[in-house]
Structure 1
Amino acid sequence: METKHSNMKFQILFFLLLLACVHHSVAQGSYENCCLKYAHVKRNLNKFIVSFREQKTDGGCNIPAVVLKLRNSREICVDPRVKWVNQLIQKRSEDNTSKM
């Protein structure tokens, strides 16, 4: 009788451990699309940029970045501390507020 109990405890423990592992692997796939590194852009891409979004370091993203969406639907991650990136954000933000 004791071996049935210990065998059942082991099966329950194994099932819970397996469930925890599956949950962890599924949860990792649910993180948003984050920039992992910056692209080194040598020229200003203003004429190719359709939109941009800012990536904060909260949630699953580890680095602050500006994600530029280009005309060809490509997305490029750039460093928000670069001078032309800051100017782009400022200009686009001013344009958006003046349209309202």
Structure 2
Amino acid sequence: MKFQMLFFLLLLTSMYLSLAQGSYGNCCLGYVRSMRTNALRNIESYRMQETDGDCNIRAVVFLMKKRPSRKSNKQKTVCANPENAWVQDLISKLDARVKK
């Protein structure tokens, strides 16, 4: 009986620890410092990442245009600090492009 109870507690503890760990599948973990002008032309859109849920940093996630030569279906993303001036300038240019 003691063995069964110990086994059950060990099982519950391991399940709790595995659920407590966050998943960073769709989160930015760092920022780029700058982007080349060629890359700036290939930005399709952006989204804001907030520090809620699993994500630990606030970021602007730029979605790049897909290249036909890419075998992967995943769209390339670039993460930038929303407080940087060049990022804010780029966001305003993208917003103006969308409004046209």
Q: Same fold (TM over 0.5)?
A: yes
Provide the rounded CA distance (Å) in 2 between the counterparts of 1:65 and 1:35.
7
Give 3-state SS (helix, strand or coil) of 1:52's partner. Answer: strand
Hey, what does 1:68 align to over in structure 2?
62
Structure 1 residue runs of 5 or longer lacking an equivalent are: none
> Which structure has the greater CA radius of gyration?
1
CA RMSD of aligned residues (A): 2.4
Give 3-state SS (helix, strand or coil) of 1:40's partner. Answer: coil
Identity of aligned residues (%): 33
Higher mean displacement: 87-96 or 57-66: 87-96
TM-score (norm 2): 0.68
CA, structure 1 residues 22+85, in 2 after alignment: closer, same or farther (shift >3 Å)?
closer
Provide the rounded CA distance (Å) in 2 between the counterparts of 1:67 and 1:77.
5
TM-score (norm 1): 0.68
- Once the two structures are superposed, residues 50-100 of structure 1 have per-residue CA deviations (whole angstroms, 9 ceiling, x without a partner) of 11111111221121111112224421111112212112222323444x45x
Greater relative CO (CA pairs within 8 A, separation 6+) = 2
Provide the rounded CA distance (Å) in 2 between the counterparts of 1:19 and 1:74.
34
Give 3-state SS (helix, strand or coil) of 1:93's partner. Answer: helix
Provide the rounded CA distance (Å) in 1 between the counterparts of 2:91 and 2:28.
18
